[in-house]
Chain A
Amino acid sequence: MQTAFTDAQLRVPEIADARKILTDCVHYGFCTSVCPTYVLLRDELDAPRGRIDLIRDMLEAGGAPTPRTVGYIDRCLSCNSCMSTCAAKVDYMHLADIARAYIEDNYHRPIFDRLFRWLLARTVPDVRRFRRAIRLARLARPLAGLLPGRLKTLLTLAPGALPPTSDAVMPGVYPADGTATRRVLLLTGCVQQALAPRLNHATLRLLTRHGCDVVVPAGVTCCGAFTLHMGKEAQAKASARATIDVWTQQLDAAEASGAPIDAVVVNASGCGTTVKDYGRIFAHETETAEQAARIANLALDVTELLANVGLRPPDDVVPLEIAYHDACSLQHAQKITQPPRDLLREAGFTVRDVPEGHFCCGSAGAYNMLQPKIARDLGQRKAAHIDSTGAAALAAGNLGCLTQLALYTGLPTLHTVELLDWATGGPLPDGLKGMDLPAPVSRQAAASPAPASEGVW
């Protein structure tokens, strides 16, 4: 694609980055039919190819973008399904990041929209504020019917019960069971600590059981993913920088002690995508770039680490049928699809792929709060596919997806680590309590393929 930026514009690093990405687009259009918003709305500009044109026009023109352009960019989920299918390898993910940051800096949103976004960005990544907000939302839930769309959605999304504050995983070093073979940092996150600390506990048990010393440093909360996704780049970078500083101290101290850190482990794939991208995010900031790249190079999704370590399943397993949902941030951004499936199968579960697996469930960071109608349509569509698999439970590697899908599927929704933890000696996940579970069988029997019902082989 041809661009017409001025030399002055190209001196801005982000514009130069955008130009490089834009020139890769040759309008093949494979992206359109895999784009959830295009499939739902059937508007060329609600597809990546159209949005790329809009972004080019917006950046070339400079100044304030039009509400029309902002509307189209806002409706993008940043699921990055387009990047998985793009033959020209257009780096849409970072182009969208640049566009969102540009809009944030140059567009004056209507007052309610501005306030709503400010509220989300200030509340969600802060565990205490977020918990307070959830309590308020629960109190206000009887009024939900009287509220406009977004506020009503917020009340709907608020969980019915909050785990006690004391459930949060505390900073410290959690030693490996037996001899340690690896030493890792664990990101416990912000939303996850508030809503589902059980996932962090399951991860700790799983990792320590598999020979990892796990370090949870004090002072790390939000990695910056949530606000980055909203275009609030300055806030995202501030969170990320604070995280990088703490982790860098840990890395240096560990190296000095002769027990270096082998990996930075993330169990929320939306966060993992951002942490792995730290090098790029800070590429133009010389004082942070090196440290950011160092962290990014060590970052692993928890399933990547476990695949490297090797799962230690017991001899007898419970052959529960699991529908595995690929979170967009895992499959499209991090390109991790096989390790979670392989691990679940090794643990004795029967893994069912979900039809239309390349599609987003509608969670997408703050998307289900900002674009509730599209998010609901996608959530219902995904849940119907999940239910069609006939599985007994749903697994995914991202809390956002699990929260979203719990609204629409009748199946128990579980993080991959909960199942792996249970299968290797941990407690039965809360989501499976009260279910009729299959009787344990030998792992060999669970691994045997079911005979095909058609054909003679």
Chain B
Amino acid sequence: MSDSGNFEGFLGQVGDTLGSAHINTSDDTLTRYGENTLPGGDRRPAAVIYPGSTDEVAQVVKAANAHKVPLYPVSTGNNIGLGSRAASREGMVVLDLGRRMNRILEVDEKMGYAAVEPGVSFQMLADELKRRGGQWMISVTSGPPEGGMIGNAMDKGAGYGPLFDHFGFSCGMEVVLGNGEVLRTGDGSIDRPGDQPGDDGLVNWHVSKYAFGPILDGLFAQSNYGVVTRLGVWFLPRPPAIRSFHFAFPDDADLEEVIELCRPLKMSNFVPTLFRVANDLYAIGSEQPSPAYAASNGTRSISDDERKDLQRAHGLGSWNVSGAFYGPSMEAMEPQIQRMVSHFGASGKATYIPHEEALEKPSLACAISSISGEPTTTELGLLKWRPGGGNAWFTPGTPMDGKVANQFQEIGRKIYEDNGLDYTVMNVCGPRFARGLHVIGFNREDPDENARAARTYEQLAETFFDHGIGVGRAPLDWHDFHLAKTMPAFRDTVQAIKGALDPNGILAPGRYGID
């Protein structure tokens, strides 16, 4: 990406500032930072730098501007299925914020928030709150416990409880812009002489989202305009009891009924959590590898009969619904549970799986952990469904309309099967919209399967686009693809902002398709 003269000059300047111990150009390191799970191959960086503070990030960004060396910031690098910690293009310099900037800067147990650096993982903050007595809980993903909270929020990641929207329930940022300037958003922008981040003076920084002027925070979600080095994240008081409920539906087409049943419960917020509506392979794939893979060496999809066998063996259905109530005791929530049993049981197709029974089924226990703010590794088992470590996530969505959701199921399932892959989906349902987490698992070491995975993603993306549907998050391989599907004015606008905040195109060029 950069010529060697500039690159050496850049490393020299950064070494003078940070110390050479915080620059890594070893072969082992560069190889591993380029690894990812996507079909497009690895992307080896030119160097890895470990800044220790916002000021050091700013100095690195200024040096990169001076020498025209592109930087690629990562937090903890656990963005699995979307690019891991690989840069958008080969030859960039990875700015690994997670290694040294992993401090929980502030915990306010009265207001229920923490201010964290990019290296703070879900596990770290959950541990810290546990250490403080366990009266608060965070929203967690069902992905890697060591995933970074800032990285996840900035990529519009989500959990499953009332504070599921990790960007939405963050508040107040500190950002190093592409030009090296440091910005505080919201009420953090108040500029009194001597104010520093974390000062008591900025009392509203992490509690109020709507300060004077434009809401700049959104600029830094899924963009490459700045490096977020501090973020306020909100907590939820941990309830004395969490009681989950689960229903298994036997047929693929039952998705229509499931969506119709979930919508009113979320519209009224009678159920405080989102609904996890996982298909058979999403649930079972976290517990075991595909029993059908070896027979065809991965060339065909698992058959309906094989799926039915798996459903029977695991006591699950074609679709599996999970939600939970928060309350003062398990017993006190019995009336709500009975409402759910009669609501979902009305058609006679649902099999009720009580909380205690669900704890014995790893895929449902994982749902309970996620809803309870407890990071868990169970769902990472999905990555082992097929051998070879390939994994890409396609994340479209559907309105909470059963017929529409079912139509998209039929389209998606056919594309997977046409390419000999296994339809693996969880719909995460709110009142009006469900995000469809489509897992494309494949053998990355098999060139044919690798190509089929890429084809599956592109056919899914094209077909859903034809139906007016885009994606929430995207694997690195297809950032350009997705930006090209937006209207010219959108592309011109995001590019214009890039030019204003990062005129030399130093930060993550190509990420989200923005150069």
10 nearest A-B residue pairs (beta carbon): A26-B389, A455-B237, A87-B380, A355-B127, A454-B237, A87-B383, A33-B146, A355-B131, A457-B328, A388-B131
- Report whether A50 and B28 are in contact in the complex, using a CB–CB cutoff of 8 Å: yes
In this complex, what residue of B is CB-closest to A449?
A: B240
The yes or no answer to A34 lying at the interface (CB within 8 A) is yes
Contact among A29, A53, A355, A451 with B128 in the assembled complex (CB-CB below 8 Å): A355
- Report whether B136 and A454 are in contact in the complex, using a CB–CB cutoff of 8 Å: yes
Between A and B, 10 residue pairs with Cβ closer than 8 Å are A27-B35, A28-B84, A29-B32, A29-B84, A33-B76, A87-B383, A89-B381, A355-B131, A452-B240, A454-B136
- Report whether A2 and B445 are in contact in the complex, using a CB–CB cutoff of 8 Å: yes
User: In whole angstroms, how far apart are the Cα atoms of A235 and B444 in the complex?
Assistant: 42
In this complex, what residue of B is CB-closest to A388?
A: B131
Question: Chain A CB within 10 Å — which of B80, B131, B144 has the most?
Answer: B131
User: In whole angstroms, how far apart are the Cα atoms of A94 and B85 in the complex?
Assistant: 28
- Report whether A454 and B112 are in contact in the complex, using a CB–CB cutoff of 8 Å: yes
User: In whole angstroms, how far apart are the Cα atoms of A27 and B28 in the complex?
Assistant: 12
- Report whether B131 and A385 are in contact in the complex, using a CB–CB cutoff of 8 Å: yes
Question: Chain A CB within 10 Å — which of B80, B98, B123 has the most?
Answer: B123
Q: Chain A's nearest CB lies how many Å from the CB of B395?
A: 19
Q: Chain A's nearest CB lies how many Å from the CB of B387?
A: 8
The yes or no answer to A407 lying at the interface (CB within 8 A) is no
In this complex, what residue of B is CB-closest to A45?
A: B28
- Report whether B130 and A30 are in contact in the complex, using a CB–CB cutoff of 8 Å: no
User: In whole angstroms, how far apart are the Cα atoms of A453 and B136 in the complex?
Assistant: 10
User: In whole angstroms, how far apart are the Cα atoms of A454 and B108 in the complex?
Assistant: 13
The yes or no answer to A250 lying at the interface (CB within 8 A) is no
Question: Chain A CB within 10 Å — which of B128, B241, B329, B384 has the most?
Answer: B384
Cβ–Cβ < 8 Å partners of B136 in chain A: 454
- Report whether A88 and B383 are in contact in the complex, using a CB–CB cutoff of 8 Å: yes
User: In whole angstroms, how far apart are the Cα atoms of A375 and B383 in the complex?
Assistant: 33
Cβ–Cβ < 8 Å partners of A42 in chain B: 50, 99
Cβ–Cβ < 8 Å partners of A34 in chain B: 145-146
Q: Chain A's nearest CB lies how many Å from the CB of B151?
A: 13
User: In whole angstroms, how far apart are the Cα atoms of A44 and B239 in the complex?
Assistant: 40
How many chain-B residues does the 8 Å CB contact rule pick out?
Answer: 49
The yes or no answer to A49 lying at the interface (CB within 8 A) is yes
The yes or no answer to B352 lying at the interface (CB within 8 A) is no
The yes or no answer to B399 lying at the interface (CB within 8 A) is no
The yes or no answer to B372 lying at the interface (CB within 8 A) is no
User: In whole angstroms, how far apart are the Cα atoms of A30 and B79 in the complex?
Assistant: 10
- Report whether A353 and B381 are in contact in the complex, using a CB–CB cutoff of 8 Å: no
Chain B positions within 8 Å of A, measured between CB atoms, are 26, 28-29, 32, 35, 37, 50, 76-78, 80, 84-85, 98-99, 112, 121, 123-124, 127-128, 130-131, 133, 135-136, 144-146, 237-241, 326-329, 377, 380-384, 387-389, 444-445
- Report whether A452 and B381 are in contact in the complex, using a CB–CB cutoff of 8 Å: no
User: In whole angstroms, how far apart are the Cα atoms of A452 and B112 in the complex?
Assistant: 14
Contact among A28, A49, A88, A355 with B130 in the assembled complex (CB-CB below 8 Å): A355
- Report whether B146 and A44 are in contact in the complex, using a CB–CB cutoff of 8 Å: no
User: In whole angstroms, how far apart are the Cα atoms of A452 and B50 in the complex?
Assistant: 40
Cβ–Cβ < 8 Å partners of A45 in chain B: 28
The yes or no answer to A424 lying at the interface (CB within 8 A) is no
In this complex, what residue of B is CB-closest to A450?
A: B240
Cβ–Cβ < 8 Å partners of A390 in chain B: 133
- Report whether B240 and A28 are in contact in the complex, using a CB–CB cutoff of 8 Å: no
User: In whole angstroms, how far apart are the Cα atoms of A139 and B377 in the complex?
Assistant: 48
User: In whole angstroms, how far apart are the Cα atoms of A351 and B153 in the complex?
Assistant: 33
What 1/0 mask marks residues of chain A from 1 to 41 whose CB sits below 8 Å from any chain B CB?
01000000000000000000000101111100110000000
Cβ–Cβ < 8 Å partners of A89 in chain B: 381, 384
Cβ–Cβ < 8 Å partners of A358 in chain B: 123
Cβ–Cβ < 8 Å partners of B389 in chain A: 26-28, 88
Cβ–Cβ < 8 Å partners of A449 in chain B: 240-241, 329
Q: Chain B's nearest CB lies how many Å from the CB of A345?
A: 15
Knowing that A84-B377, A88-B384, A356-B124 are A-B contacts, what are 19 other residue pairs whose CB atoms are under 8 Å apart, sorted by A's residue number? A28-B84, A29-B32, A29-B78, A29-B85, A33-B78, A42-B50, A45-B28, A53-B28, A87-B381, A87-B382, A89-B384, A358-B123, A385-B131, A388-B131, A451-B240, A452-B239, A453-B135, A454-B112, A454-B136
